[in-house]
Amino acid sequence: MTCIVGLVDNGKVYIGGDSAGCAGYDVRIREDQKVFRNGNMVFGFTTSFRMGQLLQYCLNIPDHDPRLDDFKYLCTDFMDAVIKCFKDKGFATIEDGTVVGGQFLLGYKGKLYYVGDDFQVGKDIDGFDSVGCGMYYAKGAMAILYKDSTLTAEEKIIKTLTTVAEYSAGVAGPFNIVSI
Average pLDDT over residues 116-135: 95
Q: For position 72, what pLDDT does the model report?
A: 98
Do strands 93-95 and 98-100 pair parallel, antiparallel, or not at all (unpaired)? antiparallel
- Phi, psi for residue 135 in degrees, rounded to 5: -65, -35
Q: For position 37, what pLDDT does the model report?
A: 97
The whole-model pTM stands at: 0.95
The DSSP code sequence of the chain is: ---EEEEEETTEEEEEE--EEEETTEEEE-SS-SEEEETTEEEEE-S-HHHHHHHHHT--PPP--TTS-HHHHIIIIIHHHHHHHHHHTT--EEETTEEE---EEEEETTEEEEE-TT--EE--TTSEEEESTTHHHHHHHHHHHTT-TTS-HHHHHHHHHHHHHHH-TT--S--EEEE-
Q: Domain of residue 10: give its range.
A: 4-179
Query: Is pLDDT of 1 > 80?
Result: no
Q: Dihedral, CA atoms, 23, 101, 157, 124, nearest 10 degrees?
A: -140
Read off the CATH number of the domain in which 82 is found: 3.60.20.10
Residue 167 confidence class, pLDDT cut points 50, 70, 90: very high
Average pLDDT over residues 135-159: 97
Domains in the chain, number: 1
User: pLDDT tens across 6-54, in order?
Assistant: 999 999 999 999 999 988 888 889 989 999 999 999 999 998 999 999 9
User: pLDDT tens across 57-97, in order?
Assistant: 999 999 999 999 999 999 999 999 999 999 999 998 888 88
- Phi, psi for residue 151 in degrees, rounded to 5: -105, 145
